Amino acid sequence: MHKSLSEALEIAVKTDPGMVRGHNEDAVFANPHLGLAILADGMGGYNAGEVASGMATTLLSGEIEEGLILKGAWEVEPDGEPYANALLRERIATANSAIYHAAQSQPQYAGMGTTLVLALFADNVVTVAHIGDSRLYRLRGEEFVRVTRDHSLLQEQLDSGMLTPEQARLSMNKNLVTRALGVDPEVEPEIRSYPVLPGDIFLLCSDGLNDMVEDEEIGLTLQTLSANLELAATQLIQMANDNGGRDNVSVILVKVLRDFAAPRGWWSRFLAWLK
């Protein structure tokens, strides 16, 4: 029987300005009932980054919720594309346009933009959309892997062999992204889907975490504290701050508690909708 997503997913959300920045330009949103988690790391002068990331999470959460009322994320479009992919691509384009036009029309917001990492859970699958260098990781058993690949100058230098991983750790170019939401009239998000298993833990984070804490340490912390997501999220932010906290740091942890296969057939969907 189909279980409510909120019974299948446990979510913990934490954001912190860090030890150096005066204000927080990260924005986070999570809704276990929708199976949706969104994290954005804003950029721009004064409070413009804060505006861009806030617009991104507010617009996307509302637009995606509206889209999910119309159709289940697991359903398929007439052209064969999963509805989840089409929905995310369309709504991200709408948010990009809104942020871009705000930046164009208001001088104090000129040049603002934001990274984005978004996870939508449905039918034992997570659909991930990302732009920039905010990341999504997965812990499955003892295996901790980075799922997203940064849209950044540093990642391009690594891919081309210009830098070794050791050199990349010391690079001064860590924060130069090659793609961002709201900077250009159009942007192409990377959207991919992955099967999900009970017990999986997904981590969405801004670079304020992974620039300060090695992936191996992040993975070990999640393994050790997997039974307490709130404590794990608090501990990850504390580790980033203990190591210097040079940037805002945000984390969203999503733990898959059980199977959440989608209802099949119109009657099952109607019953699920009534719940």
pLDDT score recorded for residue 274: 57
Of all residues in the chain, what percent carry a pLDDT higher than 70?
Answer: 94
Class in CATH terms, 5-274: alpha beta
**C-alpha triplet 89, 70, 36: angle, nearest 5°:** 55
State whether residue 157 is helix, strand or coil.
Answer: helix
* pLDDT at residue 1 is higher than 80: no
Q: How far apart are CA 261 and CA 268, in angstroms?
A: 12
Burial of 143 (0-12, 13-18, 19+ CB in 10 A): exposed
Of 21, 18, 17, the residue nearest 46 (C-alpha)? 21
Q: How far apart are CA 146 and CA 88, in angstroms?
A: 21
Q: Is the dihedral of CA 85, 89, 90, 95 positive or negative?
A: positive
For residue range 191-223, what is the model confidence (pLDDT) as tens digits? Answer: 999 999 999 999 999 999 999 999 999 999 999
The residues facing 138 across adjacent strands are 145, 202
For residue range 60-83, what is the model confidence (pLDDT) as tens digits? Answer: 999 999 999 999 999 999 999 999
pTM flag (> 0.85): yes
Domain boundaries, the chain: 5-274
Which amino acid is residue 240, in one-letter code? A
State whether residue 31 is helix, strand or coil.
Answer: strand
State whether residue 169 is helix, strand or coil.
Answer: helix
